[in-house]
Amino acid sequence: TILYVAVSAIMTGVVPFETFAKYIDHPISAVLIYSGQDWMAGIIDLGAILGMTTVMLVCLYGQTRISFSMSRDG
């Protein structure tokens, strides 16, 4: 929670909060785009996509194991 609050405070300190209305779907990248570091914003977005993909695959794998165990128990 402390890390989340710190990142939010830094983001609103760097970028005016009205700017976040345009970038509501990726606010951390908005800070980098606003500060002129477009290449870094692309890396952050790619990392977010890869991270979500990894989490979904792990959850899917775990759910199949749970379903298999439940089916064996009857």
Cα distances from 57 to residues 6, 9, 11, 24, 48, in angstroms, run 30, 32, 30, 26, 14
pLDDT of residue 38: 86
pLDDT value, residue 13: 86
Q: Are 27 and 11 in contact (CB under 8 A)?
A: yes
- Residue bearing tokens 């005016």: 16
Cα(8)–Cα(12) distance, rounded to whole angstroms? 6
Q: What is the pTM of this model?
A: 0.67
Q: What is the mean pLDDT of residues 48-61?
A: 93
Residue 67: which H helix or E strand, with range? helix 38-73
**pLDDT value at 59 more than 90:** yes
Please indicate whether residue 56 or residue 19 has the higher confidence score (pLDDT): 56
pLDDT in tens, 13-48: 888 878 888 888 888 888 888 888 889 989 999 999
Q: Where are the domains of the chain?
A: 2-73
